[in-house]
Structure 1
Amino acid sequence: MQASMSELENWHDYEIASRREIIALLRQIGEKNQLIRMLVRGETDVCVTSILEVDPDTDSFILDRSVNRDQNERIIKAGRVNCETSLDKIRILFVADNLRETAYDGGNALRADIPPTLIRLQRREFYRMATPVTNPVRAMIPMPPELGGGTQAFPLADISCGGIALLDNKLQLNNTVGQTFTNCRIDLPEIGPITTSLQVRNSLDLTLLNNKTNRRLGCQFVDMGRASMAAVQRYITRLERERNARLAGLG
């Protein structure tokens, strides 16, 4: 999954700003030889690397360089790239800034500044929770003039901190990957409304037993504010509590 800058900004609630903790996490990533995806130009230019050393005295850490010389040049020219890895099943996102060549262990490597912050996301943050079927949560999406304008309501199939799955049974929405719907409103029961842009990440057409077509659109939250992100998390927590209560009752 690509760690875009908007993604990093959306996850302030999971931000680690303690320098001591950041250094400890970087060292653990290095000691456990965790692979790091360095997104040089997003998903079109990715370098897989690892942390070789963390040096608090120089406020920097050393990354293995790419085996591709041209890619190394692009990394250094960029100077600042997004990185993502995992540690003990926890997703870690950070920015490698001020990238430059450095000597290491008789060869060359990349040196970057220790990031002032990083994002640490527990696996549960990515859980997709199914939303109610009998009384569905709906996303109100503004429609283009050629489709009559106004807004249309689309029921949610599930929700996570990263986005939602919509059901577009009448095939009204543009399902092109990358298509973005702006100023969408979602009323979260007992939590309140949130406003966000939704970007289509995937589309799946299903043929039902009655031969009707049902379209499911996977959409990512874009440009969502911190308050709205916190509201989504509260709603997911509420859904988890309700599900656990049902399971306990069945047990």
Structure 2
Amino acid sequence: MIWPSFFSRNPAPEADPALPLIAPIGEALVPTALQVDDPRRVLAVLRDLAMRAEPVTLYPDDGGTPQCGRLVQVVEPGGRVVLHVRAPQAPAAGGALVVAAPEGLRLQFQGDFAWQQQAGDLLAAHALLPASLLQLQRRRFTRQETPLGPTLRAVFQAKGKRRVLTVDDLSMGGVGLRGPLAEHRDLVAGLRLDRVRLELGSVVLMDLRLDLCSRRSYKSFLAGEQLHFGCEFVDLGEASQQAVQKVLARMGPGAGAGAFQDTAL
């Protein structure tokens, strides 16, 4: 499936205003950024950028001149991204850092780009979909994605139905939950979730309260239409805070399913 923007079908006109130079995420901010390495999430983020023809800045690894353009297309499966840039000549093929700032929040990813001349001074840069991307967050607390493998879920009753949602990410401030659109389309932002059972492997937190703060939809190639819910803990007790903190400590870089199997938590 191809996710194009208007500009991928109709190249931006010569009168298109100069695009901004978007600075990469600085080293000081990297520890607070979210490393997204779930292929479904990476695809969803880039697809959204392509649908809006989001402005991007491409920084060649060889130190060449940064190029400003737009991310105009995501092709799946066997995915790749396509950028459009206006320049008098194509840069050398090779690795580059791509930076965008949708809604003022920067994100970036690495790619190995090949260039093709289009009409006039329009250039197209092609690269495989990145395995991961780095994304700044609005939250006060740093989110950590849950590792693949263990079954991590939230179980609760809402609107007369039993709900079981997968835990996508966790922080001291809240939790990101995911589930099929067909089953959870009636859950909306602003809803208070009571008596939530949060299962983090051997760690189980009971009777939590969550505020459903955000909701976004995306399409997974394997699982179909999905919803992601950003939820905030409400009056999290001290014992539960300590349990979440210990789980997060075990979810550092390279953590796997074993982070959730230690009953000593």
The interval holding the TM-score normalised by the smaller chain is: 0.3 to 0.5
TM-score, structure 1 as length reference: 0.42
TM-score, structure 2 as length reference: 0.40
Bigger radius of gyration, 1 or 2? 1
Question: Greater share of helix residues, 1 or 2?
Answer: 1
